[in-house]
Amino acid sequence: MTEHDDGLVTIREAATLTGVHIRTVRSWIRRYQLQVILFDGHAHVLESEVLRLERDLRHTGRGKARSR
């Protein structure tokens, strides 16, 4: 995973970091749960915010999909 010095990760990296599908991260963005930051023409999010959101969603029972 390529992490940037300023704590930014790509959408794909955020998905890998949290163990969710990339569509889930995009959904978080659409629902204004994560703010997109454009860097070098690509969408990024703050790693700390991704981890905070995942922790909050797990705590409320709406986190990662459970395995079948």
Q: In one letter, which amino acid is 20?
A: V
pLDDT interval class at 9 (50, 70, 90):
very high
Output the pTM of the full model.
0.76
Residue 4 has what pLDDT?
Answer: 54
- Whether residue 3 lies inside any domain: the answer is no
How, if at all, do strands 37-39 and 8-10 pair?
unpaired
pLDDT, one tens digit per residue, over 19-64 is 999 999 999 999 999 999 998 899 999 999 999 998 998 888 765 5
Question: CA 11, CA 53: separation in Å to the nearest integer?
Answer: 14
Beta bridge partners of 59: none
What is the count of structural domains for the chain? 1
pLDDT interval class at 66 (50, 70, 90):
very low
Range of the domain at 50: 8-59
- pLDDT tops 80 at residue 18: yes
Residue 67 has what pLDDT?
Answer: 38
- Whether residue 38 lies inside any domain: the answer is yes
Backbone angles phi, psi at 42, to 5 degrees: -125, 150
- Whether residue 52 lies inside any domain: the answer is yes
